[in-house]
Amino acid sequence: MTRFTLTWFILALLSVTEAAWPATGFPFLRVSAGARAASLGEAVTAVPGADPLSVNPAALASSSVDRAAGRRLGFSHSNWIQGISHDEISIVAPRGSAHLGFAAQLFRADGLERRVGPTRESLGDFGVYEWAVAIAGSKAVTPSLIAGIAFKLVRQSIYTEAATGGAADVGLLYASSSAPWQVGATIRNLGSMNELDRESTDLPRQIRVGSAYRLSDRLGVSLDGQWNRGVRSNASGHLGAEWHARDDLILRGGYQTADSRRVSGGLGLKLGRWLIDYAYVPFQSDLGEAHRFSIYVIEASVE
């Protein structure tokens, strides 16, 4: 019954894909916020604890085996290309067989020149600010199947104009403690915005289907397929690998076929209750590279 439910859910997600979606805004809602997910090439739909508040809400637990792990408080910062920044604060806490989470994200681009027509001199600078606040929950509906949902309040400010909207993410994660693999699926950013200067911005609806496999206690691989609304190539493949070189050092790498991105890499350091992640993501077409940092403080247990 569990496998039938997950298969039906994945087919339902794929049935809503469109051959040509219109262009959308809010690019930060298409990607993860954490460094671990970025270094794994965004192949984290079925990876528990890998930035679940901005990927798959069913994966809020930090591990498919230990779902009673303690609270996690995190902060992530990204230096994107062209001076764009992306920040997130998050907290995840267990509640019996359920997990609850909260996150706030800010996507910012400053120093844009304002013009009303072709001219040598600009009329000044302005910024684009987009942010989202999310609450999420996940719960085991069977011993192996977890369901999750997240609700987001989204706001966009461009110069003197602003708009507000809402969105939801839903997801499933099949993660058996007796099997070395997981399967996950999610549909994200279901919602709408009100008008910004007489026209509303479309949210970047996204579908992700993925799997993860533990080759050994130290090595794991993950694979994702993604369908995105409003990008040049709306389908992309993602591959990630994670190797625990030592108990306190994790090395990661990824590959993806998304627009302007291919390889990525990074590492994680475990220092007691602290976990520090770093990701490096070069962009094609001489756009530059992105650097992402995440830091988490983790309780060992709530029992």
Inside any domain, residue 303: no
Give me the phi and psi of 117, to 5 degrees please.
Answer: -175, 180
- Is-contact 42 31, C-beta < 8 A? yes
pLDDT of residue 70: 73
Is 168 part of a structural domain of the chain?
A: yes
Whether 247 is covered by a domain: the verdict is: yes
- Per the model's pLDDT, the better-predicted residue between 93 and 66 turns out to be 93
Q: Check which CATH number belongs to the domain holding 145 and give it.
A: 2.40.160.60
DSSP per-residue codes, 101-126: EEEEEEEEEEEEEP-SSS-SS-S-EE
The rounded distance, in Å, linking the Cα atoms of 127 and 159 is 6
pLDDT in tens, 182-213: 999 999 999 988 877 677 778 889 999 999 99
C-alpha–C-alpha distance, residues 154 and 202, integer Å: 12
> For 147-158, how does the pLDDT look when each residue is reduced to its tens digit (9 = 90+)?
999 999 999 887
Residue 100 neighbours by CB distance under 10 Å: 16
What is the per-residue pLDDT across 210-227, written as a single tens digit (0 to 9) for each? Answer: 999 999 989 999 999 999
The reply to whether 89 falls in a domain is yes
Q: What is the pLDDT of residue 119?
A: 62
Q: Which two structure tokens, joined as six digits, stand for 216? A: 């050994």
What is the predicted pLDDT for the residue at 197?
A: 66
Domain that holds residue 212: 2-114+123-298
- 261-272 burial, b at 16+ Cβ within 10 Å, e below that, comes to beebbbbbebee
Is the model's pLDDT at 5 over the cut of 70? no
Domains of the chain: total: 1
pLDDT in the model for residue 61? 78
Residue 278 included in any domain: yes
Task: Average the pLDDT over 85-106 and give the result.
Answer: 90
pLDDT, position 129: 83
Q: Residue 4 pLDDT > 50, yes or no? A: no
